């Protein structure tokens, strides 16, 4: 079996951590058991480009139990957990192409190794796999059943492809399930981003001014958790509705230009480029921390900061690069501007990835079951799948809910009753 990982001897530790995460993934576990019995993925080759974490390992094990033949590469050069990669190879015979800290060339070689496997279904986190397949490996498109996409940034890219008529197979936006973005994007990103910043710096958040760029699902979670840790949160936005929501949620809202000289910690999660830019670095406080939790490392303009600095980055702690500026100030960039929650911490907790990855697993079977009827576009996760995941999650938490009486159901379906 071909693979490219850091060190196969890390496998035992990885296995323990995968099993630990599995205890928190009851919904995925029930799908795993169902897949094991009914083998809905028998004969299907799945190529995944996702963060190689303990949670993803449990998704891979569920897909394998369903009969799929799988190969995986990393969806970010810094997010791989090398012990998990080793365990998937050693204990599950899944070819893994992922090494934490891999350079860009290796990253794309790894994506191509996944495509060498000739997948019928691709699972993406950021749409790099889908993009390479469409740009460089079109000969493989006829064998494709479809794809799934895990994250907001990937869905935006795929919708742009679909609008251009460039998308050549159906994709399910696993991100667009309620059971994904309400929980994973908000509570997962909120907690894991603060976890990453704290692990990287050991800073106290209480009393600090935390500037959160964006107020989508992910940044809402970051603002909420930064505030919960005692931070004074400022939100920056370009969308008036989201900005208004941030105001009503109790946060100060202002342009980045105004927030830059006030903030102690800056966190971006907008999906856009140069959100923290040269003009902001010019007016930031000495010692400011700048981190990103958006999918790509484009949100902080690190090249401009490097150009402003005396001699580029000095690594002062793992995941902290300090830039000394000519006026004497120092600015600290965390995790090289890559997803701080996966670079310096372990990504979202298993309890939320449970729902996201249940959605991924069911999206794969949905593609197979509906392959005759799907068009080359981006689909949201069907509502019944969302309802099923939410019900299973509640059940796993021991929480029961009410059921409509016949009278209540009939009332909701009637229009005759008024005041």
Two tokens, residue 310: 């005396």
Two tokens, residue 47: 């190529």
**If binding is defined by CB under 6 A, does position 55 make contact with ligand ADE?**
yes
**DSSP for residue 382:** P
CA atoms of 335 and 319, how far apart (whole Å): 4
Q: How far is the CB of 324 from ligand ADE (least distance, A)?
A: 32
Q: Are 194 and 229 in contact (CB under 8 A)?
A: yes
Of 181, 192, 180, nearest in space to 225 by CA: 192
How many other C-beta atoms are found inside a 10 Å radius of the C-beta of residue 239? 13
Of 366, 294, 370, 364, nearest in space to 59 by CA: 364
Q: How far is the CB of 344 from ligand ADE (least distance, A)?
A: 13
- Residue nearest to ligand ADE as judged by C-beta position: 347
Angle at alpha carbon of residue 37, lines to 34 and 43, rounded to 5°: 100
CA atoms of 91 and 87, how far apart (whole Å): 5
* 20 vs 411, beta carbon nearer ligand ADE: 20
CA atoms of 232 and 132, how far apart (whole Å): 42
CA distances from 110 to 27, 69, 102, 309, 356 (A): 30, 17, 10, 34, 24
* 188 vs 271, beta carbon nearer ligand ADE: 188
Q: Which x/- pattern over 265-294 shows residues binding ligand ADE (rule: CB under 6 A)?
A: ------------------------------
End-to-end CA distance of the chain: 70
* 234 vs 381, beta carbon nearer ligand ADE: 381
Q: How far is the CB of 370 from ligand ADE (least distance, A)?
A: 25
Q: How far is the CB of 21 from ligand ADE (least distance, A)?
A: 8
Q: Which x/- pattern over 317-346 shows residues binding ligand ADE (rule: CB under 6 A)?
A: -------------------------x----
Among 26, 347, 360, 367, which residue interacts with ligand ADE (rule: CB under 6 A)?
347
Angle at alpha carbon of residue 396, lines to 393 and 397, rounded to 5°: 90
* 188 vs 231, beta carbon nearer ligand ADE: 188
* 263 vs 271, beta carbon nearer ligand ADE: 271
CA atoms of 350 and 413, how far apart (whole Å): 38
Q: What is the 3-state secondary structure (H, E, C) of 312-336?
A: EEEEEECCEEEEEECCCCEEEEEHH
* 51 vs 181, beta carbon nearer ligand ADE: 51
Q: How far is the CB of 51 from ligand ADE (least distance, A)?
A: 4
351 contacts: CB under 8 Å, gap ≥ 6: 24, 25
Q: How far is the CB of 341 from ligand ADE (least distance, A)?
A: 6
Q: How far is the CB of 84 from ligand ADE (least distance, A)?
A: 9
Q: How far is the CB of 401 from ligand ADE (least distance, A)?
A: 28
**If binding is defined by CB under 6 A, does position 58 make contact with ligand ADE?**
no
CA atoms of 195 and 321, how far apart (whole Å): 18
Q: Which residues in the 35-54 window bind ligand ADE by CB under 6 A? A: 51, 53
Q: How far is the CB of 123 from ligand ADE (least distance, A)?
A: 11
* 197 vs 353, beta carbon nearer ligand ADE: 353
* 87 vs 301, beta carbon nearer ligand ADE: 87
> Which among 112-120, 347-355, 361-369, 389-397 is the span making contact with ligand ADE, rule CB under 6 A?
347-355
* 56 vs 309, beta carbon nearer ligand ADE: 56
**If binding is defined by CB under 6 A, does position 353 make contact with ligand ADE?**
yes
Q: How far is the CB of 53 from ligand ADE (least distance, A)?
A: 4
CA atoms of 347 and 275, how far apart (whole Å): 22
Q: How far is the CB of 414 from ligand ADE (least distance, A)?
A: 44
Q: Which residues in the 176-205 window bind ligand ADE by CB under 6 A? A: 188
* 125 vs 336, beta carbon nearer ligand ADE: 125
CA atoms of 305 and 323, how far apart (whole Å): 7
Size of the site for ligand ADE (CB under 6 A): 9
**If binding is defined by CB under 6 A, does position 225 make contact with ligand ADE?**
no
Please count the helices (runs of H) and the strands (runs of E) in the chain: 18, 15
User: Could you please report the per-residue DSSP string of 15-47?
Assistant: HHHHHHHHTT-HHHHHHHHHHHHH-TTTT-EEE
**If binding is defined by CB under 6 A, does position 56 make contact with ligand ADE?**
yes
The residues that touch ligand ADE, with contacts defined as CB under 6 A, are 51, 53, 55-56, 188, 342, 347-348, 353
């Amino acid at each position: 079996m071909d693979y490219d990982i850091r060190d196969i001897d890390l496998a035992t530790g990885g296995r323990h951590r995968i099993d630990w995460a599995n205890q928190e993934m009851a919904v995925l576990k029930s799908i795993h058991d169902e897949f094991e019995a009914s083998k809905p993925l028998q004969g299907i080759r799945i190529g995944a480009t996702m963060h190689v974490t303990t949670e993803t390992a449990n998704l891979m094990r569920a897909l394998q139990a369903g009969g799929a033949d799988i190969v995986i590469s990393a969806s970010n050069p810094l997010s791989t957990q090398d012990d998990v990669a080793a365990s998937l190879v050693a204990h599950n015979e899944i070819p893994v192409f992922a090494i934490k800290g891999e350079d860009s060339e290796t990253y794309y070689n790894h994506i191509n190794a996944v495509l060498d496997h000739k997948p019928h279904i691709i699972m993406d986190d950021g749409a790099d796999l889908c993009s390479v397949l469409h740009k460089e490996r079109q000969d493989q498109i006829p064998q494709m059943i479809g794809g799934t996409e895990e994250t907001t940034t990937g869905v935006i890219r795929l919708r742009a492809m679909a609008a251009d008529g460039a998308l050549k197979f159906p994709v399910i936006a696993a991100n667009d399930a309620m059971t994904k973005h309400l929980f994973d994007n908000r509570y997962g990103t909120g907690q894991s981003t603060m976890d990453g910043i704290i692990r990287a710096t050991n800073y106290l958040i209480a009393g600090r001014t935390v500037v959160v760029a964006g107020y989508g699902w992910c940044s809402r979670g970051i603002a909420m958790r930064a505030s919960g840790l005692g931070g004074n949160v400022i939100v920056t936005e370009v969308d008036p509705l989201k900005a208004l929501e941030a105001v009503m949620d109790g946060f100060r809202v202002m342009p980045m230009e105004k927030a830059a000289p006030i903030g102690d910690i800056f966190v971006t999660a907008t999906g856009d480029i140069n959100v923290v830019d040269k003009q902001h670095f010019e007016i930031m406080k000495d010692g400011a921390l700048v981190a990103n939790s958006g999918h790509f490392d484009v949100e902080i303009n690190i090249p401009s900061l490097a150009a402003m600095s005396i001699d580029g980055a000095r690594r002062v702690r793992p995941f902290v690069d300090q830039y000394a500026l000519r006026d004497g100030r120092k600015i600290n960039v965390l995790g090289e501007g890559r997803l701080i929650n996966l670079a310096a911490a372990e990504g979202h907790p298993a309890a939320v990835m449970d729902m996201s990855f249940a959605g991924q697993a069911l999206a794969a079977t949905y593609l197979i079951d509906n392959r005759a009827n799907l068009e080359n576009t981006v689909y949201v996760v069907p509502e019944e799948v969302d309802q099923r995941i939410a019900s299973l999650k509640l059940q796993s938490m021991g929480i029961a809910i009410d059921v409509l009486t016949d009278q209540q159901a009939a009332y909701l379906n009637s229009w005759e009753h008024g005041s």
